[in-house]
Each structure stands twice: as structure tokens, then as C-alpha cells.
Amino acid sequence: MPDHQAYDVLFERHARNPILSAANWPYPVHTVFNPGATRLADGTTLLLCRVEDRRGHSHLCAARSANGVDGWSIDPAPTFCADHERYPEELWGVEDPRITFVPELDAYVVAYTAFGRAGPGVALALTKDFREFRRYGLVMQPDDKDAALLPRRVNGNFALLHRPLADSGAHIWISYSPDLRNWGSHKLVLPARRGAWWDANKVGLSPPLIETDRGWLMIYHGVRQTAGGALYRLGLALLDREQPEVCLLRGDMWVFGPEARYETHGDVGNVAFPCGVTVADDGDTVRIYYGAADTCIALATGSIRQMLDWLDQHGAASGGYERAEARPPKEPTVHGVGAFAVRPPGA
């Protein structure tokens, strides 16, 4: 009989998964999931975890580990809580952080979802030590989420990936700003496909982009609606380094999805949702930290080189799909800050 031809395995689950759960927390919580991740200057891995209480409201809590796998030191109290009196858009919590270290600012920029009466919106906060934070407030009004900043300016402007919700679906966009407060030049980057595709109708950024010699490597999630509910899986794309609104390659298949029991069973089953990624000292090995079934945190390891090789074999500039029609998000006018007409990249 012929040998069975299996799909490529790009991410290996850690044998100790899940690496963190509510049982590890030093105070009462319901679930912990969707952590942002970074490596600190001393090599320590820091996870900024989304923690949900029994009200259904979320806050963020830091966990630190010397090896990024175990021996976690978890803050004894919430690290970053909603401040709905000064920031009413956080009325029902703060969720799904993504961390980018920006050398120009000598600080970490945390992009997170602020959940208020108007729905989920994108907010930013800066920190140097994950003890004190300086909020910038809402920068993309609802409905918008799944945001992360690039670590450097592009053509003089900061660049933010995010996922507004439009009548045509949920697509990944990029916006530019001179100062992290005023945003404009919104451009569609990666549209959700339609029909039977695994990423039809709804996509979103997963962890922050990884800069490579060939471009910005994107790990994104696609949501397929099935008779059994929503199914969250991961795909790959490559964006141009100096014009990141240009998608050079997009994979035609998903590369990682919920299979283990801790991913298929939980508060929201069939979800693998990474918000955090770290790159090892070798410049190739990546660790993705992901929420499993909106209940616990798991870890998988991959290779930048292998992901790029896979895109060369299974990717296309259009991803095998004509670009979806999507209306640009409305210009943000929150907290008295108007949108700024940013010079388009390359102009």
C-alpha cells in the first residue's frame, strides 16, 4: 500500500501543555488565556495573560519564567485592570494583549481590546517594567480588535495592524500614525475569503508580526462557522517590509488548529488563539503562546525558516482569492483626538 501523505507539521505542542491554568493563579480566577508575550532584557519570558473572573470581565496579569515553560512567577494581584472611570471604553474589561518592544521609545507597547458599551475597541498602553503603565486610550473605535504595533516606523510613521468589523466581513487592516495617537491612511491588508475556505468571512491578527529579511511574517487566525460552532485555526502570510499593506504571499491552507483535548474542550471549545510570540537567540526558533478553548494557556514551537519555506510552496500573492470588498473603518474621534491625515507609505 502507498505511504500515507501527511500535511506538514509547522508547530509542535509542548509536552507539558497546558503550561498555565486558573489552578496556578495566586488569587481566585475563572480562566486564563490569550497571553501577550515578550522576552525581557535578561532573557526572562513574560506573559501578560488575559484573566477572566466569574462576572465575565477580564483583566491582565503578568507571569514570568526563566525558561518560558515552567517555574512561573505570577503577580499576586492583577497587573493591569480596567479603569472605566477615566476610560469608559473599558467598562466591561480589558482583553487579548499583544506586546511589541519599540526601541525608539525604549518601552513596550501593549495593544489590547477595551470592552465597553459601544463594543470592543483597540487601545494602547506603554510600559517599561510591566508595573506602571501609561494609557493612550482608545485609538480605533468599536468594533475593532486583534491589534499589534510594528516595532519600528515605516516611512516615518508607526504602523498598527488591527481588525475592524465591516458589513462585508472581518478583515485585517493597517493604519499609520506619527505619534501613536492620531491614526489615518487605513489600508486593507488581508481580507477574509468567502465560501468554503477555512478562513472565510472572518480573519484576525494572532501574535505581532515577525520581521525577517524577506518581509513581515504574519500568523493569523481564521474562523470557520460549522454546524458545531466556530472553529479557530491559524494560517500564514508574508507582508512587504517597507510597504506592509502589500501581501507578498498568503498560504492556501491552515497550519495549526485545535486537536488536543485542552483545545477542543473548555469555555469555548475548538479554539487555538495565540496573542504572543517570542524568538529565540538563534533567530529562527519561535514559541507561540496561545489560549486554548478560552480556558488555559498552551505553548507550541516552530521555525521561521520552515514557515517561509512552507509559504514558498503553498502561498500565492492573492492567496488564491480575489481581494474582498471592504469599507475602510471610520476615522477615530475618541477622547477629543481627531484622525490625522498621515502621508501614505511610499508617497
At residue 168, the pLDDT reads 82
CA distance 295 to 25: 13
C-alpha cell at 229: 460552532
CA distance 319 to 218: 13
Kindly report the pTM of this predicted structure: 0.91
pLDDT cut 90: percent of the chain above it: 86
CA distance 93 to 294: 15
C-alpha cell at 149: 504595533
Sign of the dihedral through C-alpha 19, 24, 29, 35: negative
Chain segment 143-172, per-residue pLDDT in tens: 999 999 999 999 999 999 999 998 888 999
Angle at 133 between CA 340 and CA 107, to 5 degrees: 70
Evaluate if residue 326 carries a pLDDT over 50.
Answer: no
C-alpha cell at 18: 497546558
At residue 262, the pLDDT reads 98
- The residue written with cell numbers 491625515 in the block is 341
C-alpha cell at 211: 520581521
CA distance 253 to 265: 24
Evaluate if residue 14 carries a pLDDT over 80.
Answer: yes
21-316 carries CATH number 3.40.250.10: no
Q: Tell me the pLDDT band of 225, cut-offs 50, 70 and 90.
A: confident
At residue 337, the pLDDT reads 37
Chain segment 289-312, per-residue pLDDT in tens: 999 999 999 999 999 999 999 999
User: Which whole number is the average pLDDT over 194-219?
Assistant: 96
CA distance 324 to 289: 30
Q: Which residue has the higher pLDDT, 4 or 74?
A: 74
CA distance 212 to 238: 9
DSSP string, 169-218: EE-EEEEEESSSSS-EEEEEEE--B-TT-TTBSBEEE-SPPEEETTEEEE
Q: What's at 2, amino acid-wise?
A: P
> Is residue 206 within 8 Å of 222, Cβ to Cβ?
no
Please provide the average confidence, as pLDDT, over all residues in the chain.
91
What does the radius of gyration of the chain's CA atoms come to, in whole angstroms? 19
Tell me the sheet residues that pair with 249.
Answer: 238
At residue 3, the pLDDT reads 57
> Is residue 297 within 8 Å of 289, Cβ to Cβ?
yes
At residue 226, the pLDDT reads 86
Closest CA to 37 of 257, 239, 288, 282: 288
- The residue written with cell numbers 505581532 in the block is 208
- The residue written with cell numbers 475548538 in the block is 270
> Is residue 160 within 8 Å of 174, Cβ to Cβ?
yes
CA distance 14 to 34: 16
Chain segment 100-132, per-residue pLDDT in tens: 999 999 999 999 999 999 999 999 999 999 999
At residue 334, the pLDDT reads 38
Chain segment 232-282, per-residue pLDDT in tens: 999 999 999 999 999 999 999 999 999 999 999 999 999 999 999 999 999
Chain segment 181-200, per-residue pLDDT in tens: 999 999 999 999 999 999 99
Interior/surface letters 163-189, b for 16+ CB within 10 angstroms, e for the rest: bbbbeebbbbbbbbbeebbbbbbbbbb
C-alpha cell at 106: 525604549
